[in-house]
């Protein structure tokens, strides 16, 4: 056993992470486990995780199905119960934010300052949807013949939630909280890189009083456990966050059962800096939006489109601020950037850096794999900024998911818009200008689900999250995030009691029968 401490908290490693089925933490029925390493100290095993078998998965789905179909514990009908549990979950996450943030920092590599706010943001999501659980209002329409049409909003059923590792708590909360508010049950497969963070979520739910079987958690590879969950015939809705390639496969699998799906996928997001922009504001937003969590964010600014008249000034300052970032131990409060999540991710990022250099793009800030001291123990990569990048190159077209920024100069507003839109993605974009008319004009023309004006990567729970094109289908957060988990049913009521229905006689002469 190894002890790791932060402030008043100490964690004994490795942590044993079990499956969560029918309200109990249980081992794999096949006895299989896998381990999770610390990305900042790769010789350190953080967790030993129970890997779900297909039998475990089937049991989890069956239980979720039974709870929903039989309305066990009055889960589907008693919205006041759901409100109490969601509010209590938010309260628990806030009370234990620092301890949970330590878990996130250890297995994700997210620096503690960000990890703390990450936990609190997840709490905000649970609280927001707690406030909506009793507001699933339908409609009634009185027709011109005196009859009435009633529109009911009902929970979609059993939800398969597949969440990523980069923001493990908030991304899970965006699926689980609205699903529970709607009255659904959930089978959740978290990312294998962040099992301890997932455990914190389901323990908070259980502590808040969640009835058995409403949320069930299974761990394992996406190719087996994830694949079987998505195509399971007893699952009604699939909510997935991850890379676009996997999203395409999930669409194919869901099609067999005509399942409803929500996909939050990749991005190659532009930051457009116009000639009248506040350069200091733009630079700080780009560094925050592009390099937080070591650039491992689907909404990260990875392309900086800058007007040629302010190009040199912006690049110079962008390099200066990026170089000032402290890269190191996630549990150190002074750290700005931690390690990448894994060896595979590190190799992917380094391959893009190598490509950019071999392609001959100007290296404004040369970084890459760090070495010496703590850097030899983890997957640490420092920011790299390429200048005058060809907008059609891989560096400007493909999602890297790391601290790599491509700078592309432009001359006109229309050129900037065309470059920004000329990718397969459409998740986010940022516009930097002092001209409000231009800001709104450009925002309307950008093909992106979220556009920030003089800001980057701000995600209010009251808003939405989701993308255009190959960045996904559906929306998370806000009222629209709740609608994803609802079905709309029409109930037509005849109020006349009459057998004289003109539309019956029009089609068939049943009055003569």
Residue 264 appears among annotated catalytic residues: yes
Residue 298 appears among annotated catalytic residues: yes
In this structure, are strands 428-432 and 185-189 parallel, antiparallel, or unpaired?
A: unpaired
Residue among 107, 127, 228, 264 flagged as catalytic: 264
Q: Distance of CA 445 to CAs 126, 426, 429, 455, Å?
A: 33, 12, 11, 18
DSSP 3-state of 217: strand
Residue 40 sits at φ, ψ, to 5 deg, of -90, -15
Query: Which residues, 6+ apart, have CB-to-CB distance to 19 below 8 Å?
Result: 25, 26, 27, 28, 50, 52, 56, 60, 217, 218, 219
Query: Which residues, 6+ apart, have CB-to-CB distance to 289 below 8 Å?
Result: 269, 271, 299, 300, 301, 430, 456, 457
Under DSSP, the state recorded for 226 is I
**Contact in structure between 141 and 148 (CB atoms under 8 Å):** yes
Burial class (CB in 10 A: 0-12, 13-18, 19+), 172: buried
Task: List the 139-142 sheet strands across, edge first.
Answer: 139-142, 148-155, 486-493
Token digits of residue 63: 């239980």
**Contact in structure between 396 and 374 (CB atoms under 8 Å):** no
Per-residue buried b or exposed e for 203-220, using 16+ beta carbons within 10 Å of the residue's own CB: ebbbebebbebbbbbbbb
Residue among 298, 329, 476, 484 flagged as catalytic: 298
Burial class (CB in 10 A: 0-12, 13-18, 19+), 374: middle
Instruction: Give me the active site residues, please.
Output: 264, 298
């Amino acid at each position: 056993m190894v002890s790791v401490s932060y402030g008043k908290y100490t964690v004994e490693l490795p942590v044993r992470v079990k499956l969560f089925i029918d309200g109990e933490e249980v081992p794999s029925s096949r006895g299989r486990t896998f381990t999770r390493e610390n990305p900042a100290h790769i010789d350190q095993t953080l967790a030993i995780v129970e890997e779900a078998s297909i039998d475990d998965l089937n049991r989890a789905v069956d239980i979720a199905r039974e709870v929903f179909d039989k309305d066990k514990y009055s889960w589907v009908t008693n919205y006041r119960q759901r409100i109490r549990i969601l509010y209590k979950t938010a309260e628990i996450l806030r009370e234990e934010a620092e301890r949970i943030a330590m878990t996130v920092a250890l297995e994700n590599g997210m620096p503690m300052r960000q990890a703390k706010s990450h936990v609190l943001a997840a709490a905000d999501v649970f609280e927001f949807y707690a406030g909506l659980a009793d507001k699933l209002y339908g409609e009634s329409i009185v027709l011109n013949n005196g009859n009435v049409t009633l529109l009911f909003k009902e929970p979609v059923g059993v939800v398969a939630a597949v969440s990523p590792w980069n923001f493990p708590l908030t991304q899970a909360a965006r699926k689980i909280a609205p699903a529970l508010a709607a009255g659904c049950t959930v089978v959740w497969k978290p990312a294998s890189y962040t099992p301890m963070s997932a455990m914190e979520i389901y323990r908070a739910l259980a502590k808040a009083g969640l009835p058995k079987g409403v949320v069930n958690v299974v761990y394992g590879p996406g190719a087996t456990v994830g694949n079987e969950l998505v195509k399971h015939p007893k699952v009604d809705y699939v909510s997935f966050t991850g890379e676009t390639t996997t999203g395409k496969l999930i669409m194919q699998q869901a099609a067999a059962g005509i399942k409803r799906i929500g996909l939050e996928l990749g991005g190659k997001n532009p930051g457009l800096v116009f000639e009248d922009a506040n350069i200091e504001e733009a630079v700080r937003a780009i560094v925050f939006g592009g390099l937080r969590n070591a650039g491992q964010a689907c909404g990260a600014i990875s392309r900086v489109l800058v007007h040629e008249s302010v190009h040199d000034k912006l690049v110079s300052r962008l390099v200066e601020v990026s170089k000032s970032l402290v890269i190191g131990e996630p549990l150190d409060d002074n750290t700005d950037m931690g390690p990448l999540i894994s060896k595979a991710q590190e190799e992917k990022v380094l391959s893009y850096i190598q490509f950019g250099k071999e392609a001959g793009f100007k290296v404004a800030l040369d970084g890459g794999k760090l070495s010496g001291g703590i850097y030899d123990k983890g997957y640490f990569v420092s920011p790299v900024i390429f200048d005058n990048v060809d907008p059609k190159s891989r560096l400007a077209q493909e999602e890297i998911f790391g601290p790599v920024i491509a700078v592309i100069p432009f001359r006109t507003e229309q050129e900037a818009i065309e470059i920004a839109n000329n990718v397969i993605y459409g998740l986010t974009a940022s516009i930097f200008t002092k001209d409000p008319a231009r800001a709104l004009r450009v925002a309307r023309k950008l093909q992106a689900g979220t556009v920030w004006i003089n800001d980057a990567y701000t995600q209010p729970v009251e808003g939405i999250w989701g993308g255009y094109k190959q960045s996904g289908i559906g929306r998370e957060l806000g009222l629209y995030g709740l609608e994803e988990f609802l079905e709309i049913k029409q109930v037509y009521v005849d109020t006349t009691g009459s057998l004289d229905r003109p539309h019956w006689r029009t089609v068939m002469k049943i009055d003569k029968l």
